[in-house]
Amino acid sequence: MEIVMTASIGPVEFLLLGFEGNRFNGAIAPALGDLVGNGLIRLLDVAVVIKDESGEAAILEMQELPEDVADAIRSLAGESRGLMSEADLLDVADNLEPATTVAALLVEHIWATRFSDAVRAAGGELLVAERIPGDVIDEARATLTAAAQLIGGE
């Protein structure tokens, strides 16, 4: 079977969202749905991996999830499921602490597609992409603000 790519694809990111105490209940679905509905991201694949208190791990199938969680995931993931392999998800499970659930998401950043196309068309390529936590930015801003106040107060 030949797969034909008909459209550009934006940057794709693999996200692991951890929930200690196996408290994952799908409450993130509405916020994720907003991102999908507003055309900012496309959810290419989603999986739920759970490790119980004894350390036994499982990749949960849709029919094993609570109905509301499964429905929310189905509505967001569209038809592109299966991109994360069982081996990938078992590797995730191996690294989980007991009594932890992980939602594994493969997300396309649709908002960046046009820019990515422009970079490629200009002969460029992405060399580094690094996520900086919000608390690090907050701390840097606070330091700059304090320094500006010291300088301005002199």
- Cα(53)–Cα(145) distance, rounded to whole angstroms? 46
- In 21-92, which ranges are E strands? 41-51, 57-60
With respect to residue 135, please indicate whether it lies within any of the assigned structural domains: no
With respect to residue 69, please indicate whether it lies within any of the assigned structural domains: yes
pLDDT at 60 over 70: yes
23-38 pLDDT, tens digit per residue, is 777 788 888 888 988 9
With respect to residue 134, please indicate whether it lies within any of the assigned structural domains: no
With respect to residue 67, please indicate whether it lies within any of the assigned structural domains: yes
Residue 16 belongs to what H/E stretch? strand 12-20
- If one counts every other C-beta atom within 10 angstroms of the C-beta of residue 119, the result is 13
pTM: 0.74
Query: Which residue from 73, 76, 71, 75 is spatially nearest to 48, judged by alpha carbons?
Result: 73
Kindly state the average pLDDT of the residues 46-71: 81
Residues of the domain holding 17: 12-125
With respect to residue 138, please indicate whether it lies within any of the assigned structural domains: no
pLDDT at 133 over 80: yes
Kindly state the average pLDDT of the residues 32-54: 89
Counted domains in the chain: 1
